[in-house]
Structure 1
Amino acid sequence: MMGLSRYMFWQLFVGLALVASALTCVVWLTQSLRFVDLIVNSGLSAGTFVFLTGLMMPNFLTIILPVSLFAIITFTYHRMIMDRELVVMRAAGLGQMALAKPAILLSLVIVAIGYLLSTYIVPTSYAQFRALKWDARYNFSHVLLREGTFNDVSRGITVYVRERTDDGQLLGIMAHIEKNDLRSETWLAERGALVENDDGARVVMFNGSRQEFTNDNKQLTILYFDQSVLDLDPPTEQGEVRHREPRERSMSELYNLDTTGLDENGIGKYKVETHRRLAFPWSALGFAMIALSVLISGAFTRRGEGKRVFIAVLLAAGYQGAMLAILNAAAKNEALFPAVYAITLAPIALGLIVLLLPRLFMGRVSRSPSVPRSGTPA
């Protein structure tokens, strides 16, 4: 009996690894396309691009693993039913729970991995992803003023460079600055260089002019200079700190939430994130129970198995939709927090009932037309 359980467990494990790997590659490819423009404009290396997109993957794995588990359990058990393997195992004395045991054990492994992902790995990796993305977009140490292009380096400042030399000089510089609705400035220089310090980035210009235009009196003022400095203001003009989303907060930060500057809706999103991390890892076992209770309950026949698979897929889709819907609703109404756990655990409880109750009627199941009589077509 243990050999049969190990055989089934290995079939499920290998299938899960293949399906999860394939889905992860597809998700990585689709998500990485969103950041191609950011990498090109910021001049980051290919290694940084791979690292940046790789930091997103733990967040998607929390969804990919349960869905992959459901898919491989449904496929494996359906194949074993059609090949009569489960019929033989049941005839050898394996009951409902014995047949479901390998899938349940693998589901518990995914539940443990889900807790590790949601409580530690995802907040850490997503925080690094957001920080690196912010740094790549706004930190001037990574910004390359591309030649022949109008570069929007910060709010209200556009810089054009005709050519960049190998030693870092900028030739043919033009910068346009919108101070406010009342006046604007246009800088022109023969050459210059991008310089960084603790206060930010600036362009040192040589042999140029600064034209200031005032909108109210339509006055143009021109100042010629041999050397001047143009400060590139950072995007956070008021010294604001980057907003940290609920997904990048640690569990301790969510438990001891600082509500300063958050409205009621914002507080609800942070609170529901805590309950999502505690409840949703159990969705892996919920998906497994949906597949098991539909496929291996009752007699095994070659007829109607496709209908069972279709019903299992519909139930799984409804389960996933219900979990997402209750999250959105609970973020606006704290009274719905218990419903997050109720919806997540409901398929587990119902699946156990479906799998355990037939043990009271094993005689009836054993007499079901699972194996055709000799001379009688299946």
Structure 2
Amino acid sequence: MRGLSLYIMREMLAPISFIALALTGVAWLTQSLRFVDEVVRGMPATSFLKITMLLLPSVLGMTLVLALFFGTIYAFHRLYAESELLVMWACGWSTGGLGRPALTLAALFCLVLYGLGLWLSPWGLRSVKDLQHEFQGSFLSVALQEGRFNSVGDGLTVYVRERLANGELAGLLVHDQSDPESPVTFMAERGALVDTKDGPRLLLVKGNRQVFGSDGRTPQFLFFDRNLVDISDRSEESDDLWFGAKERYLGELFAAPDGDRDLRKQGRLIAEGHHRLAFPLYALTLTLIAMTGVLSGEYDRRRRAWRLIVTGACGVGVLLAAMGFTYLAASDARAIPLIYANVAIPALVAAWLMRRNYLRRHASADLAAGLAR
């Protein structure tokens, strides 16, 4: 019996590994494309590779769940198509006995997913944010291309006529419209990028500051010898002092709000915490759905494809509902129980269907044996 269980697990691991590698490769490539511009701007290749590797734990959760689900369907379908399941049933193996190796593997995946979601994923995303902040100043130093209007940060445009050999910038124009009601324009003969404790700044030398008067039409000029302009990314998403929901550990998600921004995002943080607790359990739920789709019903090759399509659609639908309920719970705390119900109810229904099918098949076998006598 133990040998047969190991055989089923080996049959599952091959397709699961292939699907996981394929999906992870696609997800890794997609995440990497976000940083191609930074490589063009001068990010070292080693830093780019480090960032993309740190992003892997955040995508592995979904890819492993999908790989387990579709790998289970493929493995049991192959056993079914080659009549190996019929032999196992004839040898006295119940549906529960056939599903035990799959559920054991799903339980191991569940533990891995908890490790990813509760520790590795937030650690990786926090490390990426730290690296981005570390290289922000150096990115800007090569991002300001001469002869072009360079978009920097939120509502900030910088024009550089020429980059000098000593690193200085000549012929500068800076237009700041982060506040649409009072845009500001700076012009300077020369300047340079400097690093300060508050982030990168653009030092302007011998220039003027232009704003419009109260009538919105008359420009007002203020001439200066030296002036510092903040050109760091001032968008809310880039604030390195505040970690988003996916960048926080579980305890931080349920902690009391620390500041106004935490208070505004509290619903999102709590919803993410409940999602982290529930998501690894989908390894068990989707495995039950996969086994139900393959092992339930009569032995009928003609309707097999349709049953597999329905099984796949059910599994994907459950995962989509999980994301939908998490999004809903972020704005309405009353939806939080739906996050857990979406895990439990499909699993219970799948287990009930498998149990009913086993009892029906067992009753049919007893009736056939009775008629034979």
Shorter-normalised TM range: 0.7 to 0.9
- Rounded to whole Å, the distance in 1 between the matches of 2:6 and 2:283 is 20
**In the alignment, which residue of structure 1 is the partner of 2:88?**
89
Q: Is the 8 A contact 2:175 2:183 kept in 1?
A: no
- Rounded to whole Å, the distance in 2 between the matches of 1:324 and 1:201 is 38
Aligned residue-pair number: 355
**In the alignment, which residue of structure 1 is the partner of 2:172?**
174
**In the alignment, which residue of structure 1 is the partner of 2:371?**
none
- Rounded to whole Å, the distance in 2 between the matches of 1:241 and 1:193 is 24
Deviation of 1:153 after TM superposition, in Å, equals 4.6
**In the alignment, which residue of structure 1 is the partner of 2:141?**
144
**In the alignment, which residue of structure 2 is the partner of 1:364?**
363
**Aligned runs of 1:1-378 on 2, under 5 Å?**
1-41=1-41, 43-136=42-135, 139-145=136-142, 146-148=144-146, 149-153=148-152, 156=156, 158-160=158-160, 162-165=162-165, 168-170=166-168, 172-176=170-174, 178=176, 181=182, 184-189=185-190, 194-198=193-197, 200-201=199-200, 209-213=206-210, 215-216=212-213, 218=219, 229-233=226-230, 234-236=232-234, 242-258=241-257, 260-262=259-261, 266-366=265-365
Structure 1 letter corresponding to 2:82: D
Deviation of 1:159 after TM superposition, in Å, equals 4.5
Q: Is the 8 A contact 2:12 2:71 kept in 1?
A: yes
Deviation of 1:248 after TM superposition, in Å, equals 1.1
Deviation of 1:4 after TM superposition, in Å, equals 1.7
Please list the CA deviations of residues 119-172 of structure 1 after superposition, one character each: whole Å capped at 9, or x if unmatched: 111111122223333444xx324422444244445564624152353xx43364
Q: Is the 8 A contact 1:66 1:283 kept in 2?
A: yes
SS at match of 1:331: helix
- Rounded to whole Å, the distance in 1 between the matches of 2:169 and 2:266 is 50
Deviation of 1:352 after TM superposition, in Å, equals 2.3
The change in CA–CA distance for 1:263 and 1:121 in structure 2 (over 3 A counts) is: closer
Q: Is the 8 A contact 1:153 1:232 kept in 2?
A: no
Percentage identity across aligned positions? 26
Deviation of 1:187 after TM superposition, in Å, equals 0.6
**In the alignment, which residue of structure 2 is the partner of 1:373?**
none
Please list the CA deviations of residues 236-292 of structure 1 after superposition, one character each: whole Å capped at 9, or x if unmatched: 599x76432111111121232325314876222111111111111101111111110
Cα RMSD for the two superposed structures: 3.1
The runs of 5 or more residues in structure 2 that have no matched partner are: 369-373
- Rounded to whole Å, the distance in 2 between the matches of 1:185 and 1:322 is 51
Q: Is the 8 A contact 2:133 2:240 kept in 1?
A: no
- Rounded to whole Å, the distance in 2 between the matches of 1:151 and 1:264 is 35
SS at match of 1:5: helix
Deviation of 1:341 after TM superposition, in Å, equals 1.2
TM normalised by structure 1 equals: 0.82
Q: Is the 8 A contact 1:70 1:291 kept in 2?
A: yes
SS at match of 1:351: helix
Deviation of 1:65 after TM superposition, in Å, equals 1.1
Deviation of 1:204 after TM superposition, in Å, equals 6.4
- Rounded to whole Å, the distance in 2 between the matches of 1:203 and 1:337 is 47
TM normalised by structure 2 equals: 0.83
- Rounded to whole Å, the distance in 2 between the matches of 1:95 and 1:237 is 59
Q: Is the 8 A contact 1:186 1:211 kept in 2?
A: yes
The runs of 5 or more residues in structure 1 that have no matched partner are: 370-378
SS at match of 2:185: strand
